[in-house]
Amino acid sequence: MSATRRVSIFGATGSIGQNTIDLIRRDPHAYEVVALTGGRNVGRLAADAAELGAEIAVTCHDEELPALRAALAGSGVEAASGDAAMIEAASRPADWVMSAIVGAAGLAPGLKALETGATLALANKESMVCAGPLMLAAAKRHGGTILPVDSEHSAVFQALLGEDISAVERVIITASGGAFRDWPLEKLATATPEEAATHPNWDMGQRITIDSASMFNKALELIETKEFFRIAPDRIETVVHPESLIHALVGFTDGALMAHVGPPDMRHAIGFALHHPHRKPLPVQRLDLAAIGQLTFRPADETRWPALRLAREVMVAGGLSGAIFNAAKERALDAFIARRIGFLQMTDVVAETLDRLSAEVGLNDAVIDLDTVMQADHLARKAADEIIGHQGADLWTS
């Protein structure tokens, strides 16, 4: 094995973070762990940091620092907390960094890692949705690389290897359809957070699982596709594929479709990014196509999933509308989880926030830098909270 690689994992305690650690743990001598970050699960964070011999472990919550310190006592791992510590950890030189914080909170640490010239394995799709041009420019300016970890975007990336991007006619992002794929439309209004937080095929964090049921996850992914691969919105499609085995397809000008097929296991996309530009054996299931029998597809109906329609509007508008869309979605999701609004109202909140803020002068054509993105994010959260306050229905207590 060649020299060890310095790696950091942001969002190490989450679903993607733990899958990343699973791969690193299988070959511990190949890696030197720099920083691990997490939230309230400081027990898990400290145990992993001590086991992997990390330089530093950071929790985003200041009030968790004493517990993190106590859990790391005698381990030789530094403990820190808060946003500034997160950025300081991200500025420490590393060869490969996993960006797996959930939400817009992942943007600043990922951007900082790119500014060190690191390779950024990007699970945090929100970074691309909120600030795609900023991320690509930072990678270019500092000689870094961004590798997609979202399974669909890893699939597109792999289908494009060795291809000429100008020969791409369309990109098709598949969608499982989430928890409510087969529910009658009239039942959706009363769907609960618990019902939305189950996924037919993938085992993921709570927020992305609910976003899969509402298709906000797919909406984010369509925008991510446009930003990542610089593909025109009208060339980006989605189709419901209940088996979740084909992750994406790329269509070329000669009519050929290149599909990426694999089991629904994020260690594939994570491992691909970890070993890129090489391929190494990964501990994922090998598909038995004869046993699977058939792969099925259905249209992604924008009446059932209006989030997809909003994604199209955002892709066309560009500018800061991605940041507004994402922030409003995060607040609507918080309100749904807290049972303050119903499942279908999440889309109403996001649509109304977009309407309100797109009328604000300059927002859609402002220069995109971290400040303007964070300002748009802040304004959108405020507007969304106001709209949620007006909606205010409590669907479950009566």
Annotated binding site: 13-16, 39-41, 124-126, 150-152, 176, 199, 205, 212, 217-218, 221
**11 near ligand NAD, judged by CB under 6 A:** yes
Q: Between residues 101 and 363, which has the closer beta carbon with respect to ligand NAD? A: 101
Nearer to ligand NAD, 36 or 118 (CB): 36
Measured from the CB atom, the residue of 131 and 363 that comes closer to ligand NAD is 131
How many other C-beta atoms can be found within 10 angstroms of the C-beta atom of residue 185?
11
Query: Interface mask (CB under 6 A) for ligand NAD, residues 163-202, using x and -?
Result: ---------------------------------------x
Q: Which of 150, 211, 330, 352 binds Mg ion (CB under 5 A)?
A: 150
Annotate 334-382 with DSSP letters as a single string. Answer: HHHHTTSS-TTHHHHHHHHHHHHHHTSTTTTTS--SHHHHHHHHHHHHH
Extract the tokens encoding 280.
């190494």
- Ramachandran category for residue 95: left, alpha or beta (phi over 0 → left; psi -120 to 50 → alpha): alpha
Q: How far is the CB of 146 from ligand NAD (least distance, A)?
A: 14
Residues shown for the chain: 398
Tally of CB atoms within 10 A around 282 = 17
Per the annotation, where are the binding residues for NADPH? 13-16, 39-41, 124, 126, 205
Asked if 210 interacts with ligand NAD (CB under 6 A), we say no
Which of 7, 24, 52, 60 is in the footprint of ligand NAD by CB under 6 A?
60
Q: Report 286-345 residues binding ligand NAD (CB under 6 A).
A: none
In angstroms, the CA 233 to CA 222 distance is: 8
Which of ligand NAD, Mg ion, none lies near 210, with the C-beta cut-off 5 to 8 A by kind? none
Residue 258 is classified by DSSP as E
Q: State the sign of the Cα–Cα–Cα–Cα dihedral 249, 252, 255, 258.
A: negative
Q: Beta-carbon neighbour count of residue 63 at 10 Å?
A: 9
> Which residue lies nearer to ligand NAD by CB, 39 or 262?
39
The yes or no reply on residue 150 touching ligand NAD (CB under 6 A) is: yes
Query: Are the C-beta atoms of residues 228 and 128 closer than 8 Å to each other?
Result: yes
Applying CB under 5 A, does 227 fall inside the site for Mg ion? no
362: left (phi over 0), alpha (psi -120 to 50) or beta: left
Q: Which residue number places its CB atom closest to Mg ion?
A: 150
C-alpha distance across the termini of the chain, in Å: 63
Nearer to ligand NAD, 23 or 363 (CB): 23
Q: Binding ligand NAD by CB under 6 A: which of 54, 94, 100, 130?
A: 100
Q: Which parts are annotated binding residues for Mn(2+)?
A: 150, 152, 221
Residues within the annotated binding site for 1-deoxy-D-xylulose 5-phosphate? 125, 151-152, 176, 199, 212, 217-218, 221
The CA R_g of the chain, rounded to the nearest whole Å, is 21
Q: Which stretch, 123-131, 227-235, 293-301, 376-384, contacts ligand NAD (CB under 6 A)?
A: 123-131
Query: Which of 21, 34, 36, 38 is in the footprint of ligand NAD by CB under 6 A?
Result: 38
DSSP conformation class of 64: G
Nearest distance from residue 210's CB to ligand NAD, in Å?
11
358-to-84, 332, 333 alpha-carbon distances in Å: 31, 18, 21
Residues 226-285 that bind ligand NAD (CB under 6 A): 266
Count of residues of this chain found to bind Mg ion when the rule CB under 5 A is applied: 3
Q: How far apart are CA 394 and CA 339, in angstroms?
A: 7
Residues 6+ apart with CB under 8 A from 314: 219, 223, 321, 322, 325, 354
The angle, 0 to 180 degrees and rounded to 10, between the axes of the packed helices 307-317 and 345-358 is: 20
* Structure tokens that stand for 256 in this block: 């050929």
Residue 124 binds which entry of ligand NAD, Mg ion, none, CB below 5-8 Å type-dependent: ligand NAD
Interface region with Mg ion, contact rule CB under 5 A, candidates 144-152, 290-298, 362-370, 390-398: 144-152
Residue environment code for 20-36, b if the CB has 16+ CB neighbours within 10 A, otherwise e: bbebbeeeeeebbbbbb
User: Per-residue x/- mask for Mg ion, residues 104 to 143, rule CB under 5 A?
Assistant: ----------------------------------------
> Which residues contact Mg ion by CB under 5 A?
150-152
Residues that bind ligand NAD (CB under 6 A): 11-17, 38-39, 60, 100-103, 105, 123-126, 150, 202, 204-205, 207-208, 266
